Amino acid sequence: MTNQKGKDIKITEVSLRDGSHAVAHQFTEQQVRDVTRALDHAGMHYIEVSHGDGLGGSTLQYGRSLVDELKLIEAAVDEVENSKIAVLLLPGIGTIHELKEANNIGANLVRVATHSTEADVSAQHIHYARELGMEALGFLMMAHSVPVEKLVEQAKLMESYGAEAVYVTDSAGALLPDQVRERVKALKHNLNIEVGFHAHNNLSLAVANTLVAIEEGATRIDGSVRCLGAGAGNTQTEVLLSVMDRMGYDVGIDIYKMMDLAEDIVAPLIQGTQEITKGSLALGYAGVYSSFLLHAERAGKRFGIDPRDILIELGKMKVVGGQEDMILGVATKLAKNQGVKA
C-alpha cells in the first residue's frame, strides 16, 4: 500500500536560482545541465532556474550573469523528462516580457515575489502568467518584518489576483519556529489556496522551521541541495528529505540520488563552504535580506569597516529586497562616523 503521508507536498529545488547568489551569478550552461539532469533523475518536482534576483536580474546593481539566464532556462528544460522548470520574478526587476520568453522556452511555473507589504505590484504578473497557462504562485519576502495580520492581508491580495499558492518567505533567515507556526497557520486559516514556505539557514533553523511549516499544512516547500543559496543557504534539500522520510513522509524523491548529486555534482560548484559564518549569522540576527551579504562584504572591504556593522544598520533601516543600492550609502556614512578613510 502506498504511503499517503506527504503525497500533497511539492518540493521546489532552488539551488539554480537562490544558489546563483552564492556563486556571484556565474553558473555555466554545463553546470545547469548537470545539476538539472541529476535532480530530474532523482524525481525532483520543480527546479527553479533564473538569476538570483529573478528574471531580468542580470544588471550592474544586482550582479551580471556569466550566461544569459534564458539560455540557462532553455538548457534546464532540455534536460528534464519529468521535473518542471520554475522561474522567479520580482516586479520592477523582471517584466512580463521576460516572463513570456521564459514560458516560450518551457518554464512551467513562476513565483512572483514582492516585499511582504507590496503584494499589489504582483497583480499584472500573476494575471499574465495564468493567461500563459503557467502555474502562478505568490512569494511574500521578508515575512518576519510585518505583523501576521499584514501578511494575511497581502496573501489574500495575491489570492485575489489568481495566485494558486502563497509562500511565507523567510528571506533573512530570521524567523523563529513559533513565528513560522503562527504565520503558516494564519495563511492556512484565511486562504483557499495552498501555502508555501521558503527558508534561509542564517540562524541554523531552516530544516526545523520547514518541518514546523509542514506540520501547519504548508504543501509548497523549498530546498537547496548542499545548502547552496544566499547567506548561509536555504533548507538543505537532501537533509530535509531524509528527515521527512524518517517521519513517514513519502514525496517520491530518491534520497540516495539526492545525496549523491549533492556530494558529486553540486559540492564542486560551491565557492568556499555553505556554513554559518559571522556574516550570514549577522544577516539572520539583523533581519536583513540574505542576498545582501556579498554586497555588504565588498563594501566593507572597500571602506575598511566591518560588514556586520553595515548589516546591522541596514536592519535598523528595515531595508527590503531591491534596495542593494543603499549599501554603499550606509558604508560611506559608517566609514565617516568611524573615522575610516576609504
Q: Which residue numbers are catalytic?
A: 21
At residue 172, the 3 state secondary structure works out as: coil
Q: Which of 177, 176, 162 is nearest to 214 (CA)?
A: 177
Phi/psi for 293 (5° steps) reads -60, -55
DSSP string over 189-223: HH-SSEEEEE-B-TTS-HHHHHHHHHHTT--EEEE
Stretch (H or E) spanning 104: helix 96-104
Q: Which of 119, 111, 120, 121 is nearest to 85 (CA)?
A: 111
Grid cell digits, residue 205: 533553523
Q: With beta carbons less than 8 A apart as the criterion, state whether 150 and 182 touch.
A: no
Cα–Cα dist 304/283, whole Å: 19
First-to-last C-alpha distance (Å) of the chain:
67
Q: With beta carbons less than 8 A apart as the criterion, state whether 62 and 52 touch.
A: yes
Query: Between the CA of residue 14 and those of 111, 183, 216, what are the distances in Å?
Result: 12, 22, 22
Place of cell 502568467: 129
Q: Which of 249, 261, 262 is nearest to 221 (CA)?
A: 249
Q: What's CA 319's distance to the chain center, in Å?
A: 17
